[in-house]
């Protein structure tokens, strides 16, 4: 479970549509709206997580070796993402233009949810991360624990981003060092991806 947490954390740290949406909300709108957007993103994470957990469980019952094949492809995908991330040399550029537009609470939550759901790559990421664990999720407690790890860490992270990026010093620090965060997250992706590939090969061909 700790492996799932740390890989999820590495994925969250790497800038993507969710991260950029929340940071722009925090910098250009308000801290409150950024946190509401974080809640919407968390709902999206919950949706993708449940889809992957139950979808993989059903497929594994139909195709016994599917999990191991997915581990190979998932590990390759994570390693590829990691290689791209360790090659990043430029820092992220963020806009800090303020807007006076006011929206309802539900619209802010919906905005974050739609941003998350519009990025189907997240299902590939979750499939990769969970490929080696789905068969071990034998009861509802395990499923709820994994769901809590994925959604809880997501909401906590994006809420923290909302709070931090409303401060000018944090904005300047991130703009200056963002590519180093990419590089560190990339190393974690590569390590986990290679280990997933290795485990998949052993289970598929040598068990």
**Alpha carbon distances (Å) from 150 to 3, 144, 145, 146, 156:** 11, 10, 9, 6, 10
Please tell me the predicted confidence (pLDDT) of residue 4: 74
Dihedral Cα 16, 22, 27, 32, nearest 10 deg = -170
Q: Read off the pLDDT band of 170 (50, 70, 90).
A: confident
Q: Is the predicted pLDDT of residue 72 greater than 50, yes or no?
A: yes
| Cβ(149)–Cβ(3) below 8 Å | no
Q: Is the predicted pLDDT of residue 46 greater than 80, yes or no?
A: yes
Which structure tokens are listed for 69?
């094949």
Q: Is the predicted pLDDT of residue 164 greater than 60, yes or no?
A: yes
Distance separating alpha carbons of residues 14 and 178, to the nearest angstrom:
9
The alpha-carbon radius of gyration of the chain (Å, integer) is 18
Please tell me the predicted confidence (pLDDT) of residue 36: 93
Please tell me the predicted confidence (pLDDT) of residue 149: 87
Question: Residues near 99 by Cβ (< 8 Å), separated by ≥ 6?
Answer: 28, 29
Question: Residues near 82 by Cβ (< 8 Å), separated by ≥ 6?
Answer: 185, 186, 187, 188, 189, 190, 191, 193
Summarised one tens digit per residue, pLDDT across range 97-125 is 554 455 688 998 988 898 888 766 677 77
Query: Which residue is listed with tokens 């390590």?
Result: 191
Q: What is the H or E stretch that residue 24 is in?
A: helix 17-28
């Amino acid at each position: 479970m700790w492996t799932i947490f740390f890989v999820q954390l590495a994925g969250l740290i790497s800038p993507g549509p969710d991260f950029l949406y929340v940071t722009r909300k925090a910098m250009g709108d308000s801290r409150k709206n950024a946190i509401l957007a974080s809640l919407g993103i968390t709902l999206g994470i919950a949706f993708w997580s449940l889809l992957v957990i139950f979808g993989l469980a059903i497929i594994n019952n139909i195709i016994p070796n599917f999990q191991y094949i997915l581990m190979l492809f998932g590990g390759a995908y994570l390693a590829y993402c990691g290689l791209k991330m360790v090659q990043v040399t430029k820092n992220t550029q963020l806009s800090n233009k303020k807007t006076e537009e006011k929206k309802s609470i539900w619209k802010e939550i919906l905005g974050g949810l739609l941003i998350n759901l519009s990025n189907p790559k997240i299902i590939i990421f979750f499939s990769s991360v969970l490929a080696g664990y789905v068969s071990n999720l034998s009861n509802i407690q395990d499923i709820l624990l994994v769901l809590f790890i994925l959604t809880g860490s997501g909401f906590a992270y994006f809420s923290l981003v909302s709070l931090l990026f409303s401060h000018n010093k944090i904005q300047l620090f991130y703009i200056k060092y963002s590519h180093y965060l990419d590089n560190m997250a990339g190393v974690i992706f590569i390590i986990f991806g290679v280990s997933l590939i290795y485990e998949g090969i052993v289970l598929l061909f040598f068990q």
